[in-house]
Amino acid sequence: MDYLRGLLGLFVLIGILYVFSNNKKAIDWKLVVVALLMQFLLGLAILKVGFIRQFFDKISSVFLYVIEYTEQGSNLVFGGLMNKQSIGYVFALNALPTIIFFSALSALLYYLGILQRIVFGIAWFMNKFMKLSGAESMSAAANIFVGQTEAPLLVKPFLKNMTKSELLCLMVGGMATIAGGVMAAYVGFLGGDDPVAKQEFATHLLTASIMSAPAAILAAKILFPETQEVDRKIIIPKEQIGDNVLDAIARGTTDGIKLAVNVGAMLIVFTALMAMLNAMVSGLLGDMIGWSTSSGNFVFYGSNALETDTYLKWSTDFKTWIVYHKSDQAFVPKAFEISHLSLNMYIEQLTEGRFSGFNIEYLIGLVMSPLAWILGAPAQDMLVLGQLLGKKTVLNEFVAYADMPKLTDLMTHKSKIIATYALCGFANFASIGIQIGGIGALVPERRKELSEFGIKALIGGTIACFLTAVIAGMLV
């Protein structure tokens, strides 16, 4: 059944891309099949073939080492605040420094020419089997390791003369993958303190980023098929970051600080905004709309509070309402009649406690739940996974990933893995502005085209991540 639903998911997602294509007759379906086959074989090899899985476990261990070494530097600066046993996991202290260190490390690898050669090897493979241009191959391969504004630097000399199809491919590739720095941060808070869980999520995140490269090409070439001759020669850029090793590390550190501060600020603002909207919707509609349990007639209910310091909460264990004190200490369940039912209470009961009431997160989950189902999520996880998919698209993937540890008890392990793949990309509305500003600064004369492609790139990047998640759902 997982394979059948996976095939349905692939068909639906490719169908969505087809609907938004600007030239349906020019679509190279051979390229689409090759890209899909490449995705599936990559996923099958990494997740199911023992020695290949072990090899990628070793590679993904790099992210675990980065976290470990970052903690040594953070201990010097923050001291006792890094003690997780007494203080717990603090995002600002445990995740954000990882971004800074990995950014500096990436800059060093770039200066030494190591990163470019790794990217060249992957680009050569895609160029040979997918018949892409050299610039497309290099940018698609680079996006596996660096962010959506750094990857274009590898093809900076070619940006001016890129075809529209190449330009969109560059943008979709940036939307469909994540940077190594944030990947290391995700491993940290998805795996928690469990080394086995950290290793598992590190491998899945690395696999997701690799698989999303051909998925991004597939999406871009359906949305805007190539109709012109392109230069297939792959050239390694000779530009270096910094004048020497120390300068490269310093520049990478500065860039990492900017990224870390930006991530932290966005999390604060978007989380607070979501909490405010949830409270407004839940308070104005969820509490006020209700009906009588005896007659079914509408009543202006107000709140589910019984007394000043108590409230009702649905118990999935006892399948009944339990009186809770505001200190979260539950009273012994007893039989009692509820004369009125609010919309919040109804949603809480309907979702078996997965949602606390009628709010924005529930609405997002409701809208996105059909997509969650075709990705392979079990029926009971559709709303929760839909909520994460919606948050990732409307806000950003950092907010969605930050929510995953809080939803551990509400999702099956399979859904957590599918979510890991589906969220592994920069495809959100804010990234449209980031790409227009970042790539536009390198090639100002093409800013108008970048603006026109913004929504297409978002659609392509989102579908590319979902294609990867569908295949992962078939294999895990």
In this structure, the answer to whether residues 325 and 363 fall within a common structural domain is no
In this structure, the answer to whether residues 275 and 375 fall within a common structural domain is yes
In this structure, the answer to whether residues 35 and 179 fall within a common structural domain is yes
pTM of the model: 0.82
In this structure, the answer to whether residues 115 and 143 fall within a common structural domain is yes
In this structure, the answer to whether residues 315 and 433 fall within a common structural domain is no
Q: Are strands 310-315 and 298-300 parallel, antiparallel or unpaired?
A: unpaired
In this structure, the answer to whether residues 328 and 428 fall within a common structural domain is no
Phi/psi-derived region of residue 333, left when phi > 0, alpha when psi is between -120 and 50, beta in every other case: beta
Averaged pLDDT in 10-residue chunks for the chain of 476 residues: 87 95 93 93 91 89 83 85 70 80 85 85 84 85 80 80 91 88 80 83 90 93 89 73 86 85 80 86 83 67 54 70 67 58 83 81 88 91 90 84 82 92 89 85 88 92 95 90
In this structure, the answer to whether residues 129 and 95 fall within a common structural domain is yes
Q: Which residues pair with 323 in a beta bridge?
A: 312
In this structure, the answer to whether residues 417 and 314 fall within a common structural domain is no
Residue 331 is predicted with a pLDDT of 60
Cα–Cα separations (whole angstroms), residue 270 to 274, 277, 383, 437: 6, 10, 20, 21
Residue 236 is predicted with a pLDDT of 72
Domain presence at residue 461? yes
Domain presence at residue 132? yes
Domain presence at residue 287? no
In this structure, the answer to whether residues 68 and 190 fall within a common structural domain is yes
Residue 335 is predicted with a pLDDT of 47
In this structure, the answer to whether residues 70 and 182 fall within a common structural domain is yes
How many independent structural domains does the chain possess? 3
Reading the block at residue 166, the tokens are: 């190449």
CA geometry: angle at 450 spanning 213 and 444, to 5°? 115
Burial of 243 (0-12, 13-18, 19+ CB in 10 A): exposed
In this structure, the answer to whether residues 320 and 372 fall within a common structural domain is no
Domain span at residue 145 reads: 2-268+413-475
Among 95, 46, 66, which residue's Cα sits nearest to residue 417? Answer: 46
In this structure, the answer to whether residues 259 and 179 fall within a common structural domain is yes
The chain-wide mean pLDDT, for the chain, equals 84
Domain presence at residue 470? yes
